Structure 1
C-alpha cells in the first residue's frame, strides 16, 4: 500500500502539468508545412483571430496567386489606403477594446488613394465641390388643399414681412441746452430714414443757436443710403447750409455704421458749389454702467482743403470737439442726459474767429434729451 501511494503521488504532478504546458505552448511554433497549402482557414492553421489579437500567433495572409501564404511579401499584405497606425494604440490593443486609434489628419486622409467602395473623408473633411444647388421647389404642398392664387398672396406677404418690409425711423441724438460763457444756446442733431434693409432715403440735420443772436449755423442733408455690409451704409446726396455766413450747397458722399468694439462712426466729404472741399468725421461709444445708466464719449473733427474766409473755415484741421454725456434711459426710446463739451478751433479757423471777436475755444455744460421712435 505504501508503495502504491508513493507511485500515485509521483504521477499526479505529471498529469496536471501536461494540460498547462499545452496551453502555454506558442502556437506559432507549428510547422506551416504540416497545414494544407491551399488557402488554409484560421481554424485549420491553429491560429484563430482571437489568439492573433493577443499576440500568441500570426495569421497567414492567403493570396489567390500564391499557394503558400509565407511566400507573400509583407508589402502586399499592407493596406496602403488605410490611415497610418496610431503608435499609442496598436491594432492588437484596439481589437481587445483597450484603446481607440486616433484618426489621421484631414490632409493625410485626403491624400490617400481611395479604397474601392469606401470613402475616407466624412462631413466637413470632404473637399469642396462645385455642384449646382438643388432647384427650388416648384410645387407647394399647400396648393393641393387651398387655391393657388390665395397661397401666392400669402407667400408674398410672408416674404415682405421677413426682409422686404419698409420701415420708418426718427432719431433725435442731441437736443440740449448749452451753458457757455456769455453765449448760452441750443443745439440739435438728428436724422430720419425710410426704406428697407438695403436701400433707404435718409435726412440729417444739425445746428445750434445763440440766445439773443438767433441761428448761428445749421445744415440739412438729403441722402440715398445703401447697405454695403452687415454694419455699414454708404451714402450720397446733397447738403444745404443756412445761418450766419453765405448759404452754400454741397454734393455729399459718406458712410456710417458700427465699427468693431461697438464704436458708432460716421464720415463724409462735401464739395460746395464754389469748389470748396470739406470733410468731417465723428464717432461715439456707449459705455453702460448699469442697464439704464450710460456714459457716452463723443468726438468730431472737421477739415478743409483750402481757406474759406467767408465761412470762417481754415485749411487743414479746422476745428474739433470732445464731449462726455451721462444719460439715464427711462425707457429705450427716451433718455435725459447731462454732460460737458469742449470745442477748439485751430489754424486759420482760430485766426478768423479772433478777428470776428470770438474765442478760439470754449467749454460748455449741457442738459438735454435723446429720443427715437
Structure 2
C-alpha cells in the first residue's frame, strides 16, 4: 500500500508539474480609451488580438480600457502585475510615470511603455514615427486646400503631438507657400463631442482640409456633413466619410507586440527605445480615396516612397521655430532622442505652444 501511495503521489506531482509547465505566458495591456474608439486604442487592441492568434494557447492576454492617466493608471498597472502578467504594455504618454513606479516594485515583470522616454532594467519604450504619416498628410492638405487654410485638432501638447503638427505644416508649406494652419486643442484623447465642436469651429474659420491627433471619427463625420476634406487618424476611418475622407494614417502595433513577446519568452529581451514607421510597415496609408486628382495621388505616392526608403527625412535642417531661432541646423536630422523633446512650433505657425 505504501508503494502504491508513493506512485500515486508521484503521479499527482507529475500532473501538477505538467500543468504548471503548460501555463500560458501572460500579457497585459492598458488602454487610455475604449477599444471601440476606432482610433488609437482600437488599433492597439487589434495588435493584441493578432498576438493572441499568433501564439495560440501559449499566450494569454488581457486588457483594461478607459484608464485615466495618473493615479488610476498606477492602480490598474499594479493589479495587472499582481495578477501574474509576465509582460505589460501601457499605451499612452500619461502612463509613463505610473509605469516606471510599478516597474520598480515588480522587477520580475517586463514592462513596455508607448510614446514615453523613461526606461529602466525592466522597462522599455516604443513609439511610431507618426510624423512620417503627418508629413504625407501635410503635402496632401497643402495641395487640396482651396482656402489656403488647413486645420488640426490637437489632444494634449506633448512632444509627439507637437512634432506631428510641425511635420504637417512643414509639408503643406513645401507645396503651398501661402498655406496657413489653425489649431484647436481639446485636451482629451477621446471625446467625440469636443472633437465635433473643434472640427466645426475650424470649418467656420475657413478650414477646408482637416487633420486630427484625437481618436474618434467625429472630425471626419463633421467634415463629411460640412463638405470639406479630412484625413483619418490611427485606423482606417474611410467608412465614416466616403466623400470627405482622403486617406487614413493607420497604426499597426502587431509586429512589435509579437516580436517583443517572443523576446521576453526566450530571455533575449533588453530595455530599448524602439521607433517604427513606414519602413517597418507599422505605419501605412489606408484607403486612399479614388476621388483624388491624379496629380495629388502621384504626389502622395512620391512622398510616401521617399520617406519609406529613407531618401527623405522630414526633420532635416535647416529648420527655424516660429520665433526665428534655428532649431535644426542645416544638414542635421533630428535623432530619436531629439525628436522626443520637440516642444516648439516651426516657422509660419502663428500660435504659441500651450504650456
**Scaled by the length of structure 2, what TM-score is found?**
0.27
Q: Which has the higher contact order (CA 8 A, sep 6+)?
A: 2
Query: Which has the larger helix fraction?
Result: 2
Query: Which has the larger strand fraction?
Result: 1
Structure showing greater Rg: 1
